[in-house]
């Protein structure tokens, strides 16, 4: 039975080879044609945005750094002296990256879409149509989206960060500064650490590279024989087979990456010296970081745990080492778990960042309609956001209100994570393994537990949702004139702290270019729906005509194009 299985899979693979070569040639032709258009859109659009805003970036960066009170005098002078380097490198790196990204995306996106079209539909004629059409217009549209996201990054996100830098420092925080007395010691440790760590980390990477080469070939060969991972789908087998031949190139890139990153790891020794006020701790970090790198490589390649290199303590108030439990059996279990994490079944169980992102905007759309219905948000505020894009009530408070709804529902249901829908619970184990999303999700899980411990009543929840929209929630006294049921000032302060933290998380999320674009599209949908609802209302005995409604929709499109 096993032999027949192998022969059937082998015949399936061999019979697919002629189709593969035909699809490959078609994909190359599509990539060559569409790639030129995508390259022109991404390269020209991004370059125009970067060059057009570069002067404003230079001026505003110097102005904000000079005016901020978050930096001490010495550190501010150091930053101002070092600013020319990143400001001069940014246009070069941005433009070159855009050109290379335009070439790569414009060519490979139609090529891969050609092979993905094979699995679409059951009708042969539809498959042939998709092979020719898929990846053409969609690549052009996404290229325009890339330019739009870069524009939002350079305009909205950058100026948002700079505005935050100019905000007043809270009384409990001290400005970041550099002590001149310890600066020579920092430079001494850096001068010793950079060549030392670069040499040793590069040596470890070169020494472990044969293991990486053999382990990679072994893993890819096992996947090829067992038809797992990238070899699961027949149309992906030829592409996945290229990985076996190109694996040595990946090993070389990994060694070069380790060599390039090692000086930056060594530069942190100066920070350790300044923070600990000790040259000894700086030298301890120089030695310890090599051991940490060696242990990381061992874990990556499933070699023995830990490192044989010394690892001195370089922090006075915390231990840098983590004790490992059950070094014998536990190591085998952890190794098995790591290997299982590569399987397709495990990946399916993980929620991707785009799924969480889609849920957030869907929730904002539903809750936006509720706020419009309850007059907590007016149509004029939606129009102001579309025209100017700076309505804080919508861009910050609406997502915060939606997330608060999720937190309250999750707290009442006693779930282990965030109940983002009836059958989906987002936890620490099945959440996106993306560091950015982990920074956002972890605080939300903590706030959910805080709300659970407060045991809010129904009247408190209802009033709290309105206060999120109507109040700034900076001082407990703001709620004195409201109808909040509880008079407990401690309880009010705890709830306001949760709201402020939610708004801070949303403010950080709003700087992601994808957020800005999708939220702007969401506001257009809500505005058009509000106009359609208003067209059915009699005003002075007359009804707004469809022509008037159409003209207003055209005004929305025109206003959105000006944004």
**Overall average pLDDT of the 295-322 stretch:** 78
Per-residue pLDDT tens for 51-73?
999 999 999 999 999 999 888 88
- The stretch 133-157 carries a mean pLDDT of 91
Mean pLDDT for 436-459 is: 82
In the three-class reduction of DSSP (H, G, I as helix; E, B as strand; rest coil), residue 483 is classed as coil
Higher pLDDT, 536 or 101: 101
Please give the backbone phi and psi of residue 232, each rounded to the nearest 5 degrees, phi first: -70, -45
At 13, the pLDDT band (50, 70, 90 cuts) reads: low
Q: Give 29's pLDDT tier (boundaries 50, 70, 90).
A: very high
pLDDT, average across residues 82-97: 93
Q: Which residues pair with 176 in a beta bridge?
A: 71
Q: What average pLDDT does this structure show over 387-400?
A: 79
The C-alpha atoms of residue 234 and residue 55 are separated, in whole angstroms, by 52
Determine the pLDDT at residue 540.
46
Secondary structure (DSSP) of 84-149: HHHHHHHHHHHHHHHHHHHHHHHHHHHHHHHHHGGGS-S-HHHHHHHHHHTTTHHHHHHHHHHHHH
| Burial classification of residue 139, based on how many CB atoms lie within 10 Å of its CB (0-12 exposed, 13-18 middle, 19 or more buried) | buried
Q: Identify the pLDDT of residue 330.
A: 43
Task: Please name which of 327, 357, 555 lies closest in space to residue 437, comparing C-alpha atoms.
Answer: 357
pLDDT tens-digit map of 36-49: 999 999 999 999 99
Residue reference for tokens 């420092």: 169
- At 244-284, the pLDDT tens digits run 778 889 899 999 999 999 999 999 999 999 889 899 999 99
pLDDT tens-digit map of 198-220: 999 999 999 999 989 988 888 77
Tokens of 235: 């149309």
Under the banding of pLDDT at 50, 70 and 90, the label for residue 11 is low
**Res 329 pLDDT > 80:** no
pLDDT value, residue 513? 82
At 478-532, the pLDDT tens digits run: 777 777 777 777 887 888 888 888 888 888 888 888 888 888 889 889 888 888 8
- 205 touches 254 (CB < 8 A): yes
Are residues 154 and 50 in contact, defined by beta-carbon separation less than 8 angstroms?
yes
CA nearest neighbour of 477 among 469, 487, 485, 465 = 487
| Band of residue 324 on the pLDDT scale cut at 50, 70, 90 | very low
* CA–CA dist 335, 299 (Å, integer): 9
CA R_g for the chain: 28
What pLDDT is stored for residue 380 in this prediction?
Answer: 84
The mean per-residue pLDDT over the stretch 155-164 comes to 88
Rounded average pLDDT over 89-114: 91
Rounded Cα gap, residues 185 and 351, in angstroms: 47
User: Bridge-partner residues for 539, per DSSP?
Assistant: 542
Taking Cα atoms as reference points, which of 200, 206, 212, 202 lies closest to residue 309? 200
Return d(Cα 333, Cα 341) in angstroms, integer.
12
More confident residue, 454 or 472: 454
What percent of the chain lies above the pLDDT cut of 90? 27
* 8-state DSSP, 232: S
DSSP 43-86: HHHHHHHHHHHHHHHHHHHHHHHHH-SSB-HHHHHHHHHHTHHH
Which has the closest alpha carbon to 139: 174, 115, 110?
Answer: 110
Most confident of 311-315, 373-377, 451-455, 468-472: 311-315
Average pLDDT in the chain: 79
d(CA 485, CA 464): 10
DSSP letter, residue 419? E
What is the per-residue pLDDT for 328? 41
What contacts 174, CB < 8 A, 6 or more positions away? none
The H or E element spanning position 418 is: strand 418-421
């Amino acid at each position: 039975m096993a032999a027949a299985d192998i022969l059937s899979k082998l015949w399936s693979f061999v019979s697919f080879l002629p189709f593969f070569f035909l699809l490959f040639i078609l994909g190359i032709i599509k990539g060559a044609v569409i790639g030129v258009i995508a390259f022109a859109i991404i390269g020209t659009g991004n370059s125009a945005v970067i060059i057009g805003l570069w002067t404003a970036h230079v001026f505003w960066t110097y102005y904000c750094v000079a005016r901020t009170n978050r930096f001490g005098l010495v550190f501010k002078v150091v930053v101002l002296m070092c600013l020319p380097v990143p400001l001069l490198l940014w246009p070069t790196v941005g433009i070159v990256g855009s050109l290379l990204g335009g070439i790569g995306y414009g060519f490979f996106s139609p090529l891969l879409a050609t092979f993905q079209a094979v699995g679409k539909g059951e009708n042969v004629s539809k498959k042939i149509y998709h092979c020719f059409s898929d990846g053409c217009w969609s690549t052009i549209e996404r290229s325009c989206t890339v330019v739009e996201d870069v524009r939002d990054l350079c305009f909205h996100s950058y100026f948002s960060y700079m505005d935050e830098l100019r905000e007043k420092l809270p009384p409990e925080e001290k400005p970041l500064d550099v002590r001149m007395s310890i600066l020579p010691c920092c430079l001494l440790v850096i001068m010793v650490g950079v060549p030392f760590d670069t040499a040793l980390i590069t040596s470890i990477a070169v020494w472990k590279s044969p293991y990486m080469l053999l382990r990679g070939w072994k893993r890819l060969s096992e996947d090829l024989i067992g038809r797992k991972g990238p070899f699961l789908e027949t149309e992906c087998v030829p592409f996945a087979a290229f990985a076996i031949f190109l694996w040595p190139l990946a090993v070389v890139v990994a060694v070069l990456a380790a060599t390039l990153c090692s000086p930056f790891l060594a530069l942190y020794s100066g920070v350790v010296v300044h923070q600990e006020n000790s040259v000894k701790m700086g030298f301890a970090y120089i030695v310890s970081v090599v051991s940490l790198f060696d242990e990381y490589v061992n874990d990556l390649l499933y070699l023995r745990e830990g490192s044989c290199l010394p690892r001195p303590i370089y922090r006075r108030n915390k231990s840098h080492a983590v004790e490992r439990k059950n070094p014998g059996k536990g190591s085998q279990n952890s190794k098995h778990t790591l290997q299982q994490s590569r399987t397709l079944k495990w990946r399916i169980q993980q929620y991707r960042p785009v799924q969480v992102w889609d849920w957030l905007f869907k929730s904002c759309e539903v809750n936006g309609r509720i706020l419009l219905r309850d007059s907590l948000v007016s149509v004029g505020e939606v129009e102001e956001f579309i025209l100017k894009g700076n309505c804080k009530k919508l861009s910050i408070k609406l997502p915060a209100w939606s997330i608060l709804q999720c937190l309250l529902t999750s707290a009442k249901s006693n779930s282990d994570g965030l109940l983002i829908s009836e059958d989906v619970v987002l936890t620490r184990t099945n959440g996106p393994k993306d560091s950015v999303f982990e920074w956002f999700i972890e605080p939300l899980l903590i706030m959910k537990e805080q709300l659970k411990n407060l045991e809010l009543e129904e009247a408190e929840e209802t009033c709290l949702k309105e206060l999120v929209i109507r109040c700034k929630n900076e001082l407990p006294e703001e709620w004195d004139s409201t109808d909040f049921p509880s008079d407990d000032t401690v309880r009010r302060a705890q709830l306001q702290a949760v709201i402020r933290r939610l708004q801070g998380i949303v403010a950080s999320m709003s700087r992601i270019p994808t957020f800005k674009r999708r939220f702007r599209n969401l506001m257009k949908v809500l505005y058009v729906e509000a106009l359609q609802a208003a067209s059915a209302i009699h005003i002075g005995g007359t009804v707004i005509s469809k022509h008037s409604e159409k003209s207003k929709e055209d005004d929305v499109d025109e206003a959105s194009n000006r944004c």
